[in-house]
Amino acid sequence: MPSINGTDIKKVVVACDAGMGSSVMLASQLKRQLSKNNVTVEHTPVNSIPADADVVLCHQGLAARARVSAPDKVIIPFQVFIGDPAVTKVVQVVQRGGELSG
């Protein structure tokens, strides 16, 4: 399982499938939260995760596909788009340091 230190995270990708808008809202929220940390946040389809992503956030139902698309990346699955503890942990690790595995 890949891991990364929060200080090394420069790009977070929110990967989605259906394009329903919830993942776009999450990406927008993360951009605001991580802007002071010089972290880029992008929204991409789960099958097109960019090679320069450090961390990939995706709904738990898409985690297996994300791992196939980006096997060497830290994949963080979550259950709800707003207020999920997994997303909060990513923000805290970026802001305060520490290891993130997934």
- List residues with catalytic annotation: 16
CB 57 within 8 A of CB 78: yes
Lateral strand order in the sheet of 55-59:
40-45, 11-16, 55-59, 74-78
Cα gap 102→56, rounded to integer Å: 9
